[in-house]
Amino acid sequence: MSWDSILKRPEEIARANLRDYDREVTDFSWDQARSLLDGLPDGGLNITYEAVDRHVSHGRGDKIALRWISQENRIRALTYSDLQKLTNKFANVLRSLNFGKGDRVYCLLGRVPDLYIAALGSLKAGAAFCPLFSAFGPEPIKARMSIGEANLLITTERFYRRKLASWRNELGSLRHVVLVDGEDTLPDGTFGLAALMDGASETFNIERTAPEDIALLHFTSGTTGRPKGAVHVHAAVIAHHITGQFALDLHPDDIFWCTADPGWVTGTSYGIISPLTNGTTMIVDQAEFDAERWYRILQDHKVTVWYTAPTAIRMLMKVGSDIVRQFDLSHLRYMASVGEPLNPEAVVWSAKTFGKPFHDNWWQTETGGIMISNYQAMEVRPGSMGKPLPGVEAGIVERHDGQLREITAPSTVGELALRPGWPSMMRAYLHEEERYRKCFADGWYLSGDLAMRDADGYYWFVGRADDMIKSSGHLIGPFEVESALMEHPAVAEVAVIGIPDPVAGEIVKAFVALKAGIASSEELRMELLGHARKRLGPAVAPKEVVFRQNLPKTRSGKIMRRLLKARELGLPEGDISTLESEER
C-alpha cells in the first residue's frame, strides 16, 4: 500500500475558513530558493541529486563530502564522486530487490557511512526513508516500523538478533532485512549488504521524483507524549539548502559538524542534506559525547561551523572553560544550537569561552527545517531564539471568540504560529489525520510552543503549551525560571514543573542537578530559593527545590518535564519510548 493518499497540503488546510491570508513576503521567495538548485536533468526534483550528483556534474566530484571518524578514531573520507557511486550502487541494490517508489526503507544503524549511503541511496530509488535511533530497544522500533509499514530494514547483525529477530514475522509489510556487516553465516531471512553492493552497478538512473513525492518519515522526540510520524517530501530540499546558508552560514569551503544523530530530524536535515547541497565537507563522529573528544575533533578537523544542542552545551559548561584552552579552535567561525531553549547563561559562557556565541535557532520535526534563528547578520540576544528566516512568516497568536488572532503588542505571551507555505513543512502525521488537522487554524500552523516577540522582532521561547504553570493568576514559563537558576554557579541542569496547590492553583517546583563535585545541602537549597526569588520575584520563583543527580531526558537530549510531573502526581507515565536517561 502506498502512503500517497495521506498527503495533505498544509496551505490548503490552513486556508480553510480563513479571512486574512494574502500577505506576501516581499524580499524573498521560495521560487528564488528553488532556482539555486538544478532539478533532475529530465525534470523532477530529488534530494540526493541536489546533495550529491549535482556537485559531480559541476566538476566538484573530487571534493570530500563526508569525513567519518570511527569510535576508535579511524578516518574514512568519501568524496562527492565516491558518494555518487556508492548511492548509485545502493539504489541498484534496492531495485534488484524490487524496491522503488512508494516503498518504505527503514534504517537502524549507528552513525556509520552505510547509514548515509542508505539514506541518500533510498531517496535516489524513490523510496521513503525512515531513520531510527540506534539505541532504541525492540518496542520503540517495532512501534515505529508498524506505523510506517516498513518494507525493508537496513541494520547490523547484532541489532537484528537483539532487537528484531523475535518479532520480525509479526510485521507483514517487512519484505527484506539487509545487514551491513552480514558476511558468512547470516541469520535466516536476511541478506548481506556487501555482497549485494559488490554485484551492483555504479551508474543509476535516478527515479524521477516530483517535488511533492514522499521522501522522509521522521518521528518526533516524544517529549510531550506519543511520538508523531511527520511525513516530508522531496521539495524540502529547497528549505534545507537555503536555511543552511541563512541560519548556519554554510559555504562550500566549510568543514561542518552537526552533532545530532540522523535518528532525529536535525541529524538528517542538517546532518546529511543541507551540508551536502551546500557543498561542504561534513564531519560524522561515530562516538557518543565526550568533551575532550569533541574539542579534539573541532581542532584536528579544523571545523568551521558547528551545530549542536543545549544539552551538550550544558555538559561542556559542566566540564569548564580551562580544557578549551588546551585546543586550537581558531578555525571555528560559527556555532549554532537547537532542540531546547538555550539559556542566556550558555550563550554568555560560549562567547567568553570561544570568543563567539552560540546562535540559538528554533524549529521542529514538523517544520523540517530552521524557522527562527539568531542568524549570521544579526546581533545575538542571549535567551532569544532570534527572528524568522526570510520566507518564514511567524506570529504570536491567541484564541479570541473561537478564532485565532495575532498578538501585536510586544512581549506578550501567546502561541508561536507560522504561515504554512515553506517547502520543508510536513505533509501529514502518518495515519493520524485528525491530529494533523488540529495543528492548523485560521491560516496558521500552530506549533504548540508559547513564546513572545519583543519590540525589535526577536522571539523569546516561554515554554511548551503543555509545560506552562499557572500560579496565583500568573502564567509562568518554565524556561524563565530554569534560566534564572542556571545562573547560579552550582547548577548544572534544571527542570521546572507546576504542582497543584489549593491556594495558588499551582506552585513552581524545581528539580536541580548540581555541577560535579558540589554536594547538595539544606543550605544550598535555601540559597537557590533565595537566588530565584531575588531574580524572579516571589510570584514566579519556585516554592520548592529538590536535588537530583540526573534529570529524565529523551534520547534526543530534551528534558521530559511531563515525566517529572506524572511521577510527582502519581499519574501514569505515558509513552516513554524515547526516554534515555533516568531521573536519579
User: What is the Cα–Cα distance from 425 to 211, expressed in whole angstroms?
Assistant: 12
Contact of residue 540 among Mg ion, ligand ATP, none (CB under 5-8 Å per partner type): none
Choose the stretch contacting ligand ATP; rule: CB under 6 A; options: 104-112, 169-177, 355-363, 517-525.
Answer: 355-363
**Residue number with CB closer to Mg ion (265 or 512):** 265
Handedness of CA 52, 53, 56, 61 (dihedral sign): positive
**Residue number with CB closer to Mg ion (256 or 429):** 429
**Residue number with CB closer to Mg ion (186 or 468):** 468
Left, alpha or beta for 412 (phi > 0: left; psi -120 to 50: alpha)? Answer: beta
Q: What sections of 70-180 are H helices per DSSP?
A: 80-96, 113-124, 138-147, 157-159
Among 350, 447, 471, 483, interactor with ligand ATP by CB under 6 A: 447
Smallest distance, Å, CB 452 to ligand ATP? 13
Smallest distance, Å, CB 368 to Mg ion? 13
Interface of this chain with ligand ATP, residues 380 to 419, rule: CB under 6 A:
385
224 counts as binding ligand ATP under rule CB under 6 A: yes
Choose the stretch contacting Mg ion; rule: CB under 5 A; options: 213-221, 369-377, 453-461, 535-543.
Answer: 213-221
Q: How many residues bind Mg ion (CB under 5 A)?
A: 1
**Residue number with CB closer to Mg ion (236 or 514):** 236
Burial class (CB in 10 A: 0-12, 13-18, 19+), 438: exposed
**Residue number with CB closer to ligand ATP (254 or 340):** 340
**Residue number with CB closer to ligand ATP (134 or 281):** 134
3-state secondary structure of 257: strand
User: What is the Cα–Cα distance from 397 to 452, expressed in whole angstroms?
Assistant: 9
User: What is the Cα–Cα distance from 40 to 235, expressed in whole angstroms?
Assistant: 12
3-state secondary structure of 248: helix
338 counts as binding ligand ATP under rule CB under 6 A: yes
C-alpha cell at 206: 535516478
Contact of residue 110 among Mg ion, ligand ATP, none (CB under 5-8 Å per partner type): none
243 counts as binding ligand ATP under rule CB under 6 A: no
Cα 36 versus chain centre, distance:
24
Reported as type and span, the H/E element at residue 559 is none
Smallest distance, Å, CB 33 to Mg ion? 25
**Residue number with CB closer to ligand ATP (79 or 343):** 343
Alpha-carbon Rg for the chain in angstroms = 24
User: What is the Cα–Cα distance from 152 to 121, expressed in whole angstroms?
Assistant: 13
Interface of this chain with ligand ATP, residues 247 to 276, rule: CB under 6 A:
264
Among 113, 140, 227, 391, interactor with ligand ATP by CB under 6 A: 227
Among 110, 182, 339, 423, interactor with ligand ATP by CB under 6 A: 339
Report angle CA 118, 226, 152 to the nearest 5 degrees. Answer: 25
Smallest distance, Å, CB 576 to ligand ATP? 12
Q: In this structure, are residues 175 and 150 in contact, taking their beta carbons and an 8 Å threshold?
A: no
Smallest distance, Å, CB 228 to Mg ion? 7
User: What is the Cα–Cα distance from 407 to 398, expressed in whole angstroms?
Assistant: 7
Q: Could you tell me whether strands 444-453 and 459-464 are parallel, antiparallel, or unpaired per DSSP bridges?
A: antiparallel
Contact of residue 227 among ligand ATP, Mg ion, none (CB under 5-8 Å per partner type): ligand ATP
Interface of this chain with ligand ATP, residues 163 to 222, rule: CB under 6 A:
220-222
User: What is the Cα–Cα distance from 24 to 557, expressed in whole angstroms?
Assistant: 36
**Residue number with CB closer to Mg ion (140 or 279):** 140
364 counts as binding ligand ATP under rule CB under 6 A: yes
Contact of residue 362 among Mg ion, ligand ATP, none (CB under 5-8 Å per partner type): ligand ATP
Between the two ends of the chain, the Cα-to-Cα distance in Å is 45
Contact of residue 243 among Mg ion, ligand ATP, none (CB under 5-8 Å per partner type): none
User: What is the Cα–Cα distance from 203 to 393, expressed in whole angstroms?
Assistant: 42
**Residue number with CB closer to Mg ion (432 or 487):** 432
3-state secondary structure of 55: helix
**Residue number with CB closer to Mg ion (79 or 337):** 337
Contact of residue 478 among Mg ion, ligand ATP, none (CB under 5-8 Å per partner type): none
Contact of residue 385 among ligand ATP, Mg ion, none (CB under 5-8 Å per partner type): ligand ATP
3-state secondary structure of 426: coil
Choose the stretch contacting ligand ATP; rule: CB under 6 A; options: 171-179, 360-368, 469-477, 515-523.
Answer: 360-368
Q: What φ, ψ does residue 134 adopt, rounded to 5°?
A: -70, -20
C-alpha cell at 345: 547563561
Choose the stretch contacting Mg ion; rule: CB under 5 A; options: 5-13, 150-158, 218-226, 294-302.
Answer: 218-226
Smallest distance, Å, CB 575 to Mg ion? 13
What is the x/- site pattern for ligand ATP, positions 293-332, by CB under 6 A? ----------------------------------------
Residue with smallest beta-carbon separation from Mg ion: 220
Q: What φ, ψ does residue 533 adopt, rounded to 5°?
A: -65, -40
Among 168, 531, 558, 561, interactor with ligand ATP by CB under 6 A: 558
Q: In this structure, are residues 93 and 246 in contact, taking their beta carbons and an 8 Å threshold?
A: no
User: What is the Cα–Cα distance from 158 to 182, expressed in whole angstroms?
Assistant: 10
Question: How many residues would you count in the chain?
Answer: 584
Residue 442 CB neighbour total at 10 angstroms: 21
Q: Could you tell me whether strands 176-179 and 255-258 are parallel, antiparallel, or unpaired per DSSP bridges?
A: unpaired
Choose the stretch contacting Mg ion; rule: CB under 5 A; options: 73-81, 220-228, 389-397, 478-486.
Answer: 220-228
Residue whose C-alpha cell is 559541476: 58
Binding site for Mg ion (CB under 5 A): 220
Binding site for ligand ATP (CB under 6 A): 220-225, 227-228, 264, 338-342, 360-362, 364-365, 385, 447, 449, 461, 464, 556, 558
